[in-house]
């Protein structure tokens, strides 16, 4: 390269993927490119035109529009267009118009191809689906990932913590025989089985407390001192959930089953070795508190949990799971305390979480959304006061902890949302059979429900009705689709971000409503369409793929977009917390790296594409 | 008027006969681009010189940078940068201005070699420069010195084009308004930190694209509209 052209090479090098190429390769590029200029308002590329170059914006900005005129993206300095043409024999797909006076660098097709062949990172960056880039970003863009053991609990399944075959003894053996097996195998707990089925557990501590201290005869049968029907966990669950169970129940050994078969046991030393998130200890702490103030004190640590997890590189999914388990624990504890205060419930009930808590996607201590389903034996005159008291107590408690009263009053303390099962069935039948856009917007929060405490069968019955009705009602689904299209991703950005009326908050980007919410809404529609019970967005999208209403590629793209956008939001919130600010969803463009921008844009493009596909499938405009 | 005569080729053929056999005669053998030609179809050589001073009669060329404009795009594949060895050595002033020092000129060519290099590139093309009088004057003086024959060349001058545009739009031209960097800024072109003959030639070429596109507004622009 002529050293005189170093400024051109430097420009290239300051953007991905040129920044990933060897220095001498980038130095050779200024002599290969062509430069062109477009005046603001003029067309740069027509659809189906022959485009023999990859374009990079040097100064200015362009807009790409689909052949039907739909605005696809705004592309500014350091960004590329005509990428798709590179993969379809140089035939341009979209119209490109300069929206500012612009200078472009044009890399000839042949040089583009050579770079793709020689450098996988270059090829990967421009691979036909930007979504692939997104996958990459989720793996590589996450900071000091994989170095922090804390998060392993979220990525490990229980089965991965098992190190050896379970040590067991038959139900008929004596205490002495059981202790010999434990000693020979150097284990601190023994699983007692009856014909291959787990029926009890005997631990070192049991031997000390129930045998030695009690002076019991060692020849007595083991079932006289074991803990019968112990709490178990399924091998496929997250290690985090195992630790949570052990902490909540204050137990040290947790037998692991696959289906009904015993496959092992995990001990809290397994877990402690793997390290733990402070969230687990918060949950343990919650169950020891007896007052609102005490609970609020525990909840005040939640922002630190978020920061800690984000720093450790947790996925957004993991963070949602952990933060929500704290809300769940607070709710459960408040219900326990309420039942202590007002007495046991006169008829069965189930406390339901709605919205983000139901989906296990909370990222902070936000407004509460909940409701109560009461058994149909409920009688207003006889039991009304009890449930009003209990619900008000719990909602007040949540509010005291920072889970503020829902402005829309979607709370169990609101009489309308504290009703017997029959009434709930009526509510849902009306919402589904006579969908009204406005009512639906209000009620869509009720299509994300998860039982927190109480008689879960009440919820199962309601859920069965919802799922059965919803999938058969096309008009309802169409309305839900319409609802899912109310939040649109911002179509693109350049310099100061282009913010449409939906995405804007000042000149900042609302990551929640323009990125996260549209995907949540889409996932809900898909789940209702295939009759899926899951309410978590990731689980719903997977179910949609299995149910064949969403292609594998579409599902992957949406999952990746969801993770990336959610994570960008979390990182932003963690930074705000670190700075002592109140976390919000609004990101200013300056805070974004070029890398983040590109991937956010890919994410929004994915959302837009799927929104259009769903709208078309349901004939919704 | 000169342009008309030139395009008829009369002057060119006369000069071709006058020039000694060699690069300048070869240059005159190639027809000039036609004034009625669409600028898209004309090849321009954007060229910038660095010199020891401003007066072609007493100062000399130190370096030549050039890049080709073809189909109204800058074709970076065809660029060049030549260091020229001035007979009189460098003055302290110009060395400071251009950051060129005597030892940098060890790789430099004498002016006749430089002309032999650059003239074939200019043949059949139009010269493009910002304040082209300098380039025209120094190249012309060099040709006279080496070949005893003047250089006649079709020229498009980005400074003149911008001055014309401002005058046509009744904009007052203040001091410095027509400097290359200042004009480029008005067309949203990048600001280059360095100044050397090659990068300035590229800068001039980019500016030319901008001027033509602004003038064009969708229609074709003929060479006659932009040639000086």
Is a pLDDT exceeding 50 seen at residue A60?
yes
What pLDDT is recorded for position A616?
Answer: 86
Q: Which of A62-76, A139-153, B154-168 has the lowest mean pLDDT?
A: A139-153
Which of A5, A57, A102, A109 to mutate against chain B (most B CBs within 10 Å)? A5
Long-range contacts of A464-467 (CB under 8 A, 24+ apart): A465/A425, A465/A428, A465/A429, A466/A428, A466/A432, A466/A528, A467/A528, A467/A531, A467/A532, A467/A533
Instruction: Tell me the pLDDT of chain A averaged across its residues.
Output: 84
Q: Does B127 touch chain A (CB under 8 A)?
A: no
Residue A1 burial (CB < 10 Å; 0-12/13-18/19+)? middle
Q: Is residue B81 part of a domain?
A: yes
Q: Does B76 touch chain A (CB under 8 A)?
A: yes
CATH number for B166: 3.30.420.10
Query: Could you report the per-residue pLDDT of B131-170, keeping only the tens digit for each?
Result: 999 999 999 999 999 999 989 899 999 999 999 999 988 8
DSSP A583: P
3-class SS of residue B180: helix
- Over residues B18-27, mean pLDDT: 91
Structure-model confidence comparison of residues B208 and A67, the more confident one: B208
Angle, CA of A25, A28 and A31, to the nearest 5°: 155
Q: Does B227 touch chain A (CB under 8 A)?
A: no
What pLDDT is recorded for position B2?
Answer: 42
Three-state secondary structure of A433-502: HCCCHHHHHHHHHHHCEEEEEECHHHHHHHHHHHHHHHHHCHHHHHHHHHHHCCCCCCCCCCCCCCCCCC
What pLDDT is recorded for position A143?
Answer: 37
What pLDDT is recorded for position A271?
Answer: 57
Q: Is residue B190 part of a domain?
A: yes
Q: Is residue B12 part of a domain?
A: no
Highest mean pLDDT among A127-131, A144-148, A392-396, A499-503: A392-396
Q: Which of A147-151, A547-551, A613-617, B64-68 has the lowest mean pLDDT?
A: A147-151
Q: Does A34 touch chain B (CB under 8 A)?
A: yes
What pLDDT is recorded for position A500?
Answer: 39
Q: For chains A and B, count residue pairs whose Cβ atoms are closer than 8 Å.
A: 77
- Over residues A355-373, mean pLDDT: 93
Q: Is residue B82 part of a domain?
A: yes
pLDDT band at residue B98 using 50, 70 and 90 as cut-offs: low
Q: Is residue B38 part of a domain?
A: yes
| Sign of the dihedral through C-alpha A564, A566, A569, A571 | negative
Number of folded domains that form chain B: 1
Domain that holds residue B75: 33-226
Which of B72, B74, B199 is the closest to A7 by Cβ? B199
The answer to whether A35 contacts B192, with C-beta atoms less than 8 Å apart, is no
What pLDDT is recorded for position B173?
Answer: 86
Q: Is residue B126 part of a domain?
A: yes
pLDDT band at residue A497 using 50, 70 and 90 as cut-offs: very low
Q: Which of A158-162, A181-185, B111-115 has the lowest mean pLDDT?
A: A158-162
Which of B75, B213, B218 is the closest to A37 by Cβ? B213
Unique residue bearing structure tokens 């300048």: B24
What pLDDT is recorded for position B4?
Answer: 41
φ, ψ dihedrals at A253, nearest 5°: -130, 135
Q: Which residue of A has its CA nearest to B190?
A: A59
The answer to whether A106 contacts B205, with C-beta atoms less than 8 Å apart, is no
φ, ψ dihedrals at A174, nearest 5°: -90, 170
What pLDDT is recorded for position A165?
Answer: 81
- Over residues A347-357, mean pLDDT: 95
| Selected residues 185-214 of chain B with any CB under 8 Å from a CB in chain A | 187-190, 192-194, 196-199, 202, 205-206, 209-210, 213-214
Most distant CA pair in chain B: distance in Å? Answer: 50
Given a contact cutoff of 8 angstroms between Cβ atoms, the answer to whether A51 and A91 are in contact is yes
Structural tokens at position B208: 């030319």
Which of A34, A60, A100 is the closest to B74 by Cβ? A34
Q: Which residue of A has its CA nearest to B218?
A: A42
What pLDDT is recorded for position B184?
Answer: 95
Is a pLDDT exceeding 60 seen at residue A140?
no
Query: Could you report the per-residue pLDDT of A450-492, keeping only the tens digit for each?
Result: 999 999 999 999 999 999 998 888 888 888 888 888 887 775 5
pLDDT band at residue A146 using 50, 70 and 90 as cut-offs: very low
Give chain B positions within 8 Å (CB) of A34: 73-77
pLDDT band at residue A502 using 50, 70 and 90 as cut-offs: very low
Q: Which of A262-266, A388-392, B156-160 has the lowest mean pLDDT?
A: A262-266
Instruction: Tell me the pLDDT of chain B averaged across its residues.
Output: 86
| Domains of chain A, first to last | 3-128 (2.60.120.10), 157-273 (3.10.580.10), 279-430+441-457 (3.30.460.10), 480-617 (1.20.120)
| Sign of the dihedral through C-alpha A23, A29, A31, A37 | negative
Beta bridge partners of A551: none
Given a contact cutoff of 8 angstroms between Cβ atoms, the answer to whether A469 and A529 are in contact is no
């Amino acid at each position: 390269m002529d050293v005189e052209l170093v400024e051109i090479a430097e420009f290239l090098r300051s953007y991905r993927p040129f920044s990933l190429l060897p220095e001498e390769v980038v130095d050779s590029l200024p002599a290969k490119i062509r430069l062109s200029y477009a005046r603001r308002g003029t067309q740069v590329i027509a659809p189906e035109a022959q485009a023999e170059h990859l374009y990079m914006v040097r100064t200015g900005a362009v807009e790409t529009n689909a052949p039907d005129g739909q605005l696809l993206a705004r592309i500014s300095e350091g960004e590329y267009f005509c990428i798709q043409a590179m993969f379809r024999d140089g035939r341009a797909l979209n119209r490109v118009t300069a929206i500012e006076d612009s200078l472009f660098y044009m890399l000839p097709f042949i040089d583009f191809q050579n770079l793709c062949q020689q450098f996988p990172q270059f090829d990967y960056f421009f691979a036909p689906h930007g979504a692939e880039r997104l996958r990459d970003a989720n793996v590589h863009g996450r900071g000091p990932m994989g170095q922090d053991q804390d998060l392993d609990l979220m990525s490990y399944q229980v089965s991965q913590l098992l190190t050896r075959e379970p040590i067991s003894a038959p139900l008929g053996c004596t205490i002495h025989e059981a202790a010999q097996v434990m000693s020979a195998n150097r284990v601190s707990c023994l699983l007692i089985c009856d014909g291959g089925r787990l029926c009890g557990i005997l631990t070192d501590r049991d031997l000390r407390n129930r045998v030695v201290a009690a002076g019991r005869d060692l020849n007595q049968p083991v079932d006289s001192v074991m803990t019968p029907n112990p709490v178990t966990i399924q091998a496929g669950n997250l290690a985090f959930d195992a630790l949570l169970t052990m902490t909540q129940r204050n137990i040290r050994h947790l037998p692991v089953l696959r289906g009904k078969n015993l496959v092992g046991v995990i001990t809290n030393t397994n877990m402690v070795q793997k390290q733990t998130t402070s969230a687990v200890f918060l949950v343990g702490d919650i169950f020891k508190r007896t007052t609102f103030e005490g609970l609020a004190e525990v909840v005040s640590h939640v922002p630190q949990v978020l920061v800690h997890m984000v720093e450790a590189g947790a996925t957004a999914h993991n963070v949602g799971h952990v933060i929500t388990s704290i809300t769940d624990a607070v709710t459960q504890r408040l219900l326990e305390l309420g039942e202590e205060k007002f007495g046991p419930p006169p008829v069965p009930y189930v406390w339901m979480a709605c919205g983000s808590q139901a989906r296990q996607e909370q990222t902070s201590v936000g407004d509460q959304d909940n409701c109560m389903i009461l058994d149909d034996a409920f009688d207003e005159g006889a039991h009304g006061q009890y449930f009003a008291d209990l619900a008000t107590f719990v909602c007040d408690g949540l509010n005291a902890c920072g889970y503020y009263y829902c402005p829309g009053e979607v709370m169990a303390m609101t009489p309308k949302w504290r009703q017997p099962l029959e009434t709930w069935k009526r509510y849902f039948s009306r919402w589904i059979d006579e969908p009204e856009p406005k009512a639906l917007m209000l009620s869509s929060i009720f299509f994300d429900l998860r039982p927190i405490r109480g008689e879960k069968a009440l919820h199962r019955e309601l859920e069965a009705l919802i799922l059965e009705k919803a999938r058969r009602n096309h008009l309802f689904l169409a309305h839900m689709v319409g609802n899912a299209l109310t939040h649109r991703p911002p179509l693109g950005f350049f310099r100061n971000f282009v913010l449409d009326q939906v995405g804007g908050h000042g000149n900042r980007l609302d990551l929640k409503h323009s990125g996260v919410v549209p995907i949540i809404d889409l996932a809900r529609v898909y789940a209702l369409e295939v009759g899926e019970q899951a309410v978590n967005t990731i689980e719903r999208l997977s179910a949609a793929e299995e149910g064949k209403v969403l292609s594998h590629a579409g599902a992957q793209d949406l999952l990746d977009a969801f993770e990336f956008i959610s994570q960008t939001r979390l990182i932003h919130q963690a930074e705000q917390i670190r700075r002592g600010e109140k976390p919000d969803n609004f990101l200013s463009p300056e805070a974004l790296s070029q890398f983040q921008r590109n991937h956010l844009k890919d994410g929004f493009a994915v959302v837009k594409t799927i929104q259009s596909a769903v709208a078309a499938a349901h004939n919704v405009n | 008027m000169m342009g008309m005569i030139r395009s008829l080729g009369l002057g060119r053929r006369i000069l071709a006969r006058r020039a000694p056999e060699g690069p300048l005669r070869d240059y005159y053998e190639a027809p000039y681009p036609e004034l009625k030609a669409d600028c898209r179809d004309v090849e321009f050589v954007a060229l910038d010189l660095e010199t020891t001073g401003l007066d072609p009669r007493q100062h000399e060329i130190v370096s030549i940078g050039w890049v080709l404009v073809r189909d109204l795009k800058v074709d970076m594949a065809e660029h060049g940068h030549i260091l020229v060895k001035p007979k009189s050595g460098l003055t302290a002033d110009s060395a400071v201005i251009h950051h060129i020092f005597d030892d940098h000129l060890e790789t430099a060519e004498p002016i006749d070699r430089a002309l032999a290099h650059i003239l074939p590139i200019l043949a059949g093309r139009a010269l493009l420069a910002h304040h082209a009088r300098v380039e025209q004057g120094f190249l012309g003086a060099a040709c006279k010195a080496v070949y005893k024959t003047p250089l006649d060349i079709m020229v498009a001058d980005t400074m003149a084009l911008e001055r014309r545009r401002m005058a046509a739009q009744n904009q007052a031209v203040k001091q410095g308004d027509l400097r290359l960097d200042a004009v480029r800024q008005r067309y949203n072109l990048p600001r280059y930190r360095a100044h050397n003959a090659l990068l300035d030639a590229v800068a001039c070429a980019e500016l030319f694209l901008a001027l033509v596109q602004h003038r064009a507004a969708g229609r074709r622009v003929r060479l006659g509209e932009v040639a000086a």
